[in-house]
Amino acid sequence: MKYVFVTGGVLSGLGKGITASSVGRLLKSRGLKVTAIKIDPYLNIDAGTMNPFEHGEVFVLEDGGEVDLDLGNYERFLDVNLTSNHNITTGKVYRAVIEKERMGEYLGKTVQIIPHITNEIKNEIRGVAEATGADVCIVELGGTVGDIESMPFLEAVRQMNTELGRGENCLFMHTTLVPVLGTVGEQKTKPTQHSVKELRSIGIQPDIIVARAKQALEYSIKRKISLFCDVPLEAVISAPDAKSIYEVPLILDEQGLTDFMIKRLGIEGGSEDLRDWKKLLERILHPSRTVNIACVGKYTHLADSYISHLEAFHHSGAEKDTKVDLCFVDSEIIQEHGVTEELEEADGILIPGGFGNRGILGKMLAAKYARENRVPFLGICLGFQISTIEIARDVIGLETAHSTEFDPETCDPVVDLLPEQREIKKKGATMRLGGQPVVVTEGSKAYDLYGKTLIMERHRHRYEVNPKYIERLEDAGWKFTGKSPDGLRMEIAELQGHPYFVASQFHPEFKSRPGKPSPLHLGLVNAAIERKFGASS
C-alpha cells in the first residue's frame, strides 16, 4: 500500500480537496486502484450536526455516514463509493481511545497524545486503506499546518513515513498560496517558504508543492520555491485558477505530476487514459446553449451548501451539450415579497433539501408558481414534502395541511412521522440515512429516466408523506411513482399533465458522477431545454 498525504498551509480554502481528488483521478487514469480518506481535526464525531452556512454541504454516503463535502468530490472524481470510515475526525479518534481506556485495554498506563492518540490515528488510516485493496490511498489532512488541532494527525503521518520505510511508501504533497502583491503583480513566495518551514519543523519534508495562484507560476518563482523549500524543480506544481474543477487534473498532469508521483512511489502504471475526462471537460467548457435553473433555498449565501446539486447539473449539462446557470434565490425573500424576477426568468426550478421552518412558505410559493405556470420543477427531500403540502393546500383544499415538523398541532398532518419512526425517535435515532431501495412504477417519468424498476438512492430525512392522505393526493394528480419495497414510504411523485413536475424523498445528487448524471437532474435539464428551445431541440 502506498500513501499520498495532502497537507495545506497559509490559509484554508486553497482547494486541498480538489487537489486530492485530482491526484486520485490521475493515478486512476494510469490503471491504479485508488481510495481516499479525509481527516477533519474538529471534535465533532461527524458532519451531521454542522451548519451548512459555516461548513458547507453535509454529504451522505451509501452506508449512511454524514461526512465532509470533500468526500463527495472523492466519489465523483474517482467514481467509487466510500464509507463513513473514510472520514476520520478528532471526535472519532478520541472517543475510540477513551472507550479503550475505560475497557482497560491500556493496562493502567497513562493515556497520552503520543503514543495512544497517534497510534489510533495510524491504525484507522491503515485499516481503512487496506480494507479497500487499493494500490494507493490519498489522505487529505484538513486544516492548515500550525493549527493546534492538526498536530496529532501530522505527528501520526510523520510516524507512518518512518514505519513504512522513510521515503518508500509515503509521499507528502503540500498545498500553499502564492499571492500577488503590488501594482506590477509580483508573485510572492514568502508565505510558501514559511509554511514549508513550519511543516519541516514537525519532521515532514514535502516531496511536492502545489502552489495556488491566480495565474500560472513564473519560471523564476518555481525555481525560488524549489531552492528555498528543498524540492526538485519538477515537483513545484503550479495550480492557477481553473475554469472548472474538472480542468484541474489536466492542469496538474500537463506539468508531469503523475509521472513524478509514480516514479517517486516506485509503482508501475499503465499508459494515460484521460480521454473521457477530456471529452467531459470540453462539453462543460464549450456548451452550445444555456438554460437557467433557480435554486430556492435558505443557504443561498454559500454555494458549497448545495455543491452536489451544482455538480449534478454540471454532469447533466455535459450530457446535453448545455450550460446550466444555477441562480440562488432566498426563499425568505419570496416569502416576504412574492415571486421574484429570478423565478419568473428561470427555465426550471429546484427546491433542495433542508431543515428548519425558516422560508418554508416561500418555498411553497415557488412550488405553486412552477405548478401553475408549467415551469419544469424538481423537489428534493424537503422539496418533495413542500410540493406535497402545497398541492394538499391549493389543489385539494386542505388549508391547514402541513408537516408536523413545522406545525405539531396541524389538523392535516400531510407530512408526519410514521408510527414506527416515533418509537425509533424515542430511542434517539431520528434520521433515515444512506442507500435505500426504491421501487419505480413502469411507464412513469422516473422509469423513463432510470430505465429500471428497482433503484438504490441515498436518504437523509426524518418525516414521511402520511399514508392517510395518499389516495386524495393521487386523485388530485400527484401520483407516487416510487415507493419503498413495503409500500409504506413514498419516494417519488409526479404531477400528471405537467411537462416536468417531479420530486423525490431521497437525494439523487449524492450519486451523480461525471458521465453518470443524476437521472432526476437530467430530467429537469431536459425539460428546461424543451421549455426554452422547443421540443425538437
Q: Could you list the active site residues?
A: 381, 507, 509
List the beta strands (DSSP E) in 241-339.
289-297, 322-330
CA–CA gap between residue 426 and residue 445 (Å, rounded) = 38
CA–CA separation, 189 and 185 (whole Å): 13
Dihedral sign computed on CA atoms, order 529, 530, 534, 537: positive
How far does CA 9 lie from the centroid of its chain?
23
Reported in sequence order, the residue ranges of 301-365 that DSSP labels E, i.e. its strands, are: 322-330, 348-351
Distance CA 181, CA 185 (A): 5
In this structure, what DSSP letter does residue 231 have?
Answer: -
Q: What is the dihedral sign for C-alpha 243, 246, 250, 251?
A: positive
**β-bridge mates for residue 296, sequence order:** 329
**CA–CA dist 432, 459 (Å, integer):** 6
All three cell numbers of 236, joined, read 513545484
CA distance 414 to 471: 12
Q: Sheet holding 2-8: strands in order across? A: 87-89, 34-40, 136-141, 2-8, 170-177, 208-213, 236-240
